[in-house]
Amino acid sequence: MVKKRELIGQTQSKIFEAATEVFEEKGYTGARMQEIADRAGINKALLHYYFRTKDQLFMAVFHVLLKKMFEKILSIFMEEATFKEKMRRFLDEHIEFLIRNPKLPIFLLNEISRNPAMAEGLKETLQYAQLRDLIYETHSKELKGYGIKKNDMPQLMITIVGMSVFPVAARDMMAIMMPQMNDTRKFNAFMQERKEFAAGFVMTALKNRKK
């Protein structure tokens, strides 16, 4: 009978989920401990019992979300496949991920820009040195042939990631000029089309480069 343990887990999970919701919606400065407690269906004092301060609770949530985002981006590029295959899989899976987590990009961009030091801890967790090596390996094996200079690899990577992330981050801004984006069904359809559009766009741009 591990009832108690389960309950601990339940309460802590409820808090964590509520905190994730509120922080994603309102950001650190806009979030209120009271609202997190309310959404978790508990007392505010209990919040401080499990997570001593707002900062601690926030950091716990932030790190999970940051890792979630980066792991999704990195894991695919780590796989053994051609650049083209990796890029297609990345766009497919990452866009699916973003449709399920539409508030994540703005939240992360905003919080990291508010305090860049917060992301420090992640450098070790995600073996980014390993990824950097892999990117340059991909370059010398495949992309050199496309006329991409080693120097341009950051440009290319940012472009690909931006293809999926930017529309999600800028959705409400786009909606000023394209009101159809306010309709979530239509926006999701737009993102579905984007998988093919982006992959085709990048591959065409690469294949036909002047070398």
Partner DNA sequence: TTTAATTTTGACCAATTAGTTAAATCATTT
Partner DNA sequence: AAATGATTTAACTAATTGGTCAAAATTAAA
Using CB under 7 A as the criterion, which residues of the chain lie in contact with DNA when the complex forms?
A: 1-5, 7-8, 11, 31-34, 42-46, 48-49, 52-55
The residue written with tokens 């305090």 in the block is: 115
Tally of helices (H runs) and strands (E runs) in the chain:
11, 0
Q: Tokens standing for 4?
A: 């108690």
Pick between residue 43 and residue 130 the one whose CB is nearest to DNA: 43
Pick between residue 141 and residue 207 the one whose CB is nearest to a second copy: 207
CB of 39 to DNA, least distance (A): 13
The residue written with tokens 């919606």 in the block is: 25
Measured between alpha carbons, how far is 1 from 5 in angstroms, rounded to an integer?
9
Q: Tokens standing for 119?
A: 């992301």
Measured between alpha carbons, how far is 97 from 18 in angstroms, rounded to an integer?
20
Given a second copy, DNA, none, residue 55, with its beta carbon under 5 to 8 Å by kind, binds DNA
Q: Tokens standing for 29?
A: 């400065």
Given DNA, a second copy, none, residue 113, with its beta carbon under 5 to 8 Å by kind, binds a second copy
Where along the sequence are the contacts to a second copy (CB under 8 A)? 26-30, 70, 103, 106, 108-110, 112-114, 116, 119, 122-123, 128, 131-132, 152, 154-155, 158-159, 161-163, 165-167, 169-178, 182, 190, 193-194, 197-198, 200-202, 204-205, 207-209
Q: Is 53 strand, coil or helix? A: coil
Q: Tokens standing for 38?
A: 């309310």
- In contact, 126 and 67? CB cutoff 8 Å: yes
Structure letter (DSSP) for residue 80:
S
Pick between residue 9 and residue 121 the one whose CB is nearest to a second copy: 121
Given a second copy, DNA, none, residue 81, with its beta carbon under 5 to 8 Å by kind, binds none
Given a second copy, DNA, none, residue 106, with its beta carbon under 5 to 8 Å by kind, binds a second copy
Pick between residue 2 and residue 204 the one whose CB is nearest to a second copy: 204
Given a second copy, DNA, none, residue 53, with its beta carbon under 5 to 8 Å by kind, binds DNA
Pick between residue 18 and residue 31 the one whose CB is nearest to a second copy: 31
Q: Is 101 strand, coil or helix? A: coil
User: What are the two backbone dihedrals, phi and then psi, of residue 51, each rounded to the nearest 5 degrees?
Assistant: -125, 110
